[in-house]
């Protein structure tokens, strides 16, 4: 029988110092609450207080600090500033032991939980989970943590699904929720719905008016910044994207489109734009409108018109936004002549005039010349406004009748709903029962093709009807403008934007003016 002598350990595995050295373990705690509610914040403060006292009670522990995150989800370690700082300090040698209430407080993501604990363990840093009484240096730790963290992760998934269901149920019931602190023009009413903030509503109306007067979102943003008007987020500098979002937000006409985006992954909380992956809900007449539906639709029509114009639309300068070269179709742009001497002046010429091997022969104009051309055309229109108005009203009768289009649109809408249901049914049948996959694919492809055809036709009809309505409103506004307008003696920017469609220049003698009613 061999004689075995036990040699006791002389180095502490916790401090890497000799066992008889009076070195204390550097200990911290981690606390987290997952919402910003008052009740949860009270819990957060209680955790901080509890662990501060808990650590200080141990004579062989040295209190470092309590790291904490407020109102942060535990599904991912990303964004948890307190947690990440704690791990960073631990790896830098400032911490030997981390104490936390439970595995779910540490992380509800199994992968994050285990990878973090393994990284800490490699650097001789231990974690203690009080509720489960688990020490990470224990041999059974990883097995227990895997089970508990997996349960916590599944709990997160279940909670996320329940919350999502609740949100969608609210949407289906037509209940609208918006971030009021960053939503220009509305405040939260007593019933939780949108109530007009008149001071901010004037800014919204100004944005829509400037856009219809031919300014681009970029020009409007610059104008608002120069005027010192704060953005919806309270900042001093406007961007064209902020202006665009206001111009296209249906809430300003009293409606609400719900679920424009959705959470694609409950772990990362990453949001995606909804392109049809989940249902949307459109609520009409939900609240008082700041912008009339007619003006809102006119703006959408104008956005499409500019998008589909042959050349780049420019609204930085209100004159160049309407002047078009008859040879190449490019917008005119301002150029400075004699910029350094007393003969300095701004002229307008084809934007492609010197970019092509064959130069456009269209003439240039001064701002005064362009304005005079417009004033003369408007005054001629006013002199003959009775005849013009009569012709327009006759044209409106023909344009406004889109009964046949509406009937076909309604049929297409019913067909798309029916086909969508049929597609869902065969997918469900294929999932539940064993069917011939070749036959299933054949049926699915045929139904999907019919659905896409019907959907495309429905969208095409919707666009046509919208254009008809926009055309009628354009004519109505045009009639109202010229009926009340007195002859011009000077240039009017509002009329330039409101009446004129374009001025196409072919030569000095051939200048073709097109008004918004379609008249040339």
Q: What is the pLDDT of residues 70-119, one digit of tens each?
A: 755 444 455 678 888 999 999 999 999 999 888 777 765 666 777 888 88
Strands of the sheet containing 511-515, edge to edge, are 323-325, 500-505, 511-515
pLDDT attached to residue 353: 56
Residue 128 DSSP SS3? strand
Q: Is residue 224 part of a domain?
A: yes
Q: Is residue 5 part of a domain?
A: no
Give the pLDDT confidence of 166-207 residue by residue, as tens digits.
Answer: 555 554 554 556 665 678 888 887 777 788 889 999 999 999
Q: Is residue 2 part of a domain?
A: no
Residue 377 and residue 437 share a domain: yes
Q: Is residue 340 part of a domain?
A: no
pLDDT attached to residue 517: 59
For 510, the domain range is 363-515
Q: Is residue 322 part of a domain?
A: no
Picking from 90, 94, 91, 72, the residue whose alpha carbon sits closest to that of residue 81 is 72
Picking from 121, 321, 148, the residue whose alpha carbon sits closest to that of residue 219 is 321
| Residue 157 to residue 160: CA distance in whole angstroms | 5
pLDDT attached to residue 47: 78
Q: Which of 144, 159, 174 is the last residue of a domain?
A: 159
| Residue 258 to residue 278: CA distance in whole angstroms | 11
Residue 415 DSSP SS3? helix
Low-confidence ranges of the chain (pLDDT < 50): 14-16, 36-41, 73-76, 171, 174, 266, 311
Residue 378 and residue 260 share a domain: no
Residue 138 and residue 88 share a domain: yes
pLDDT attached to residue 429: 81
pLDDT attached to residue 324: 87
Q: Is residue 16 part of a domain?
A: no
Torsion of CA 279, 285, 288, 293, to 10 degrees: 90
The residues, any chain, with a CB within 8 Å of residue 18's CB and separated by 6 or more, are: 10, 11, 12
pLDDT attached to residue 277: 59
| Residue 344 to residue 167: CA distance in whole angstroms | 62
Q: Are strands 365-366 and 345-350 parallel, antiparallel or unpaired?
A: antiparallel
Residue 468 belongs to domain with CATH number = 1.10.287
pLDDT attached to residue 150: 65
Residue 301 and residue 186 share a domain: yes
Q: Are strands 134-135 and 256-258 parallel, antiparallel or unpaired?
A: unpaired
Strand partners, 32: 69
Residue 390 and residue 476 share a domain: yes
Residue 370: both structure tokens together: 């362009």
Residue 472 and residue 428 share a domain: yes
Q: Are strands 194-196 and 186-188 parallel, antiparallel or unpaired?
A: antiparallel
Residue 303 and residue 198 share a domain: yes
Q: Is residue 127 part of a domain?
A: yes
Q: Which of 270, 285, 307 is the last residue of a domain?
A: 307
pLDDT attached to residue 89: 94
Tell whether pTM > 0.85: no
Contact at 8 Å (CB) between 217 and 244?
Answer: yes
Q: What's the structural domain count of the chain?
A: 3
Residue 253: both structure tokens together: 């006409």
Residue 65 belongs to domain with CATH number = 3.40.50.1390
Residue 142 and residue 33 share a domain: yes
Q: Are strands 97-100 and 25-32 parallel, antiparallel or unpaired?
A: parallel
Residue 187 and residue 117 share a domain: no
The residues, any chain, with a CB within 8 Å of residue 167's CB and separated by 6 or more, are: 259
Residue 301 and residue 190 share a domain: yes
Residue 101 and residue 187 share a domain: no
Q: Is residue 352 part of a domain?
A: no
Residue 483 and residue 395 share a domain: yes
pLDDT attached to residue 238: 92
- What's the DSSP call for residue 252? G
Q: Which of 103, 126, 159 is the last residue of a domain?
A: 159
The residues, any chain, with a CB within 8 Å of residue 364's CB and separated by 6 or more, are: 335, 347, 348, 349
Residue 261 belongs to domain with CATH number = 3.90.1750.20
């Amino acid at each position: 029988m061999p004689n075995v002598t036990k040699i006791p350990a002389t180095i502490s595995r916790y401090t890497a110092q000799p066992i008889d050295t009076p070195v204390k373990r550097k200990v911290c705690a981690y606390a987290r609450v997952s919402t910003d509610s008052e009740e949860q914040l009270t819990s957060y403060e209680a955790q901080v207080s509890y662990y501060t006292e808990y650590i200080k009670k141990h004579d062989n522990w040295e209190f470092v600090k309590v790291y904490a995150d407020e109102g942060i989800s535990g599904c991912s370690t990303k964004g948890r500033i307190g947690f990440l700082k704690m791990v960073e300090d631990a790896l830098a040698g400032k911490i030997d032991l981390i104490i936390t209430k439970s595995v779910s407080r540490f992380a509800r993501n199994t992968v994050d939980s285990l990878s973090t604990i393994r990284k800490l363990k490699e650097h001789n840093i231990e974690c203690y989970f009080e509720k489960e009484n688990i020490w990470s240096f224990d041999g059974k730790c990883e097995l227990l943590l895997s089970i508990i963290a997996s349960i916590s992760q599944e709990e997160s998934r279940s909670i996320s699904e329940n919350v999502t269901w609740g949100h969608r149920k609210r949407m289906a019931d037509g209940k609208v929720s918006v971030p009021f602190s960053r939503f220009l023009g509305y405040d939260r009413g007593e019933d939780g719905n949108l109530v007009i903030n008149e001071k901010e509503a004037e800014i919204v109306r100004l944005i829509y008016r400037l856009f219809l007067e031919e300014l681009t979102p970029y020009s409007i943003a610059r104008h608002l910044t120069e005027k010192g008007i704060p953005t919806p987020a309270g900042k001093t500098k406007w961007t064209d994207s902020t202006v665009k979002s206001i111009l296209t937000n249906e809430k300003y006409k009293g409606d609400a489109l719900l679920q424009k985006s959705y959470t694609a992954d409950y772990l990362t909380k990453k949001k995606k734009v909804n392109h049809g992956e989940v249902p949307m809900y459109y609520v009409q007449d939900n609240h008082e409108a700041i912008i009339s539906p007619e003006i809102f639709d006119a703006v959408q029509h104008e956005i499409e018109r500019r998008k589909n114009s042959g050349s780049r639309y420019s609204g930085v300068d209100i004159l160049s936004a309407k002047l078009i070269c008859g040879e190449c179709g490019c917008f005119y742009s301002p150029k400075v002549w004699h910029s350094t001497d007393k003969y300095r002046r701004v002229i307008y010429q084809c934007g492609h005039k010197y970019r092509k091997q064959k130069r456009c022969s269209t003439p240039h104009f001064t701002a005064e010349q362009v304005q005079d051309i417009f004033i003369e055309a408007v005054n001629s229109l006013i002199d003959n406004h009775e005849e013009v108005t009569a012709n327009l009203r006759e044209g409106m009768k023909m344009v406004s009748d889109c009964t046949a289009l509406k009937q076909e649109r309604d049929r297409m809408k019913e067909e798309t709903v029916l086909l969508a249901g049929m597609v869902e049914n065969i997918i469900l049948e294929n999932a539940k029962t064993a069917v011939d996959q070749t036959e299933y694919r054949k049926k699915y492809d045929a139904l999907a093709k019919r659905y896409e055809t019907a959907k495309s036709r429905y969208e095409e009809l919707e666009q046509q009807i919208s254009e008809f309505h926009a055309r009628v409103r354009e004519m109505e506004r045009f009639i109202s403008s010229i009926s009340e307008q007195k002859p011009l003696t000077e240039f009017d920017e509002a009329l330039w934007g409101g009446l004129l469609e374009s001025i196409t220049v072919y030569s000095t003698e051939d200048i073709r003016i097109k008004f918004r009613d379609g008249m040339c």
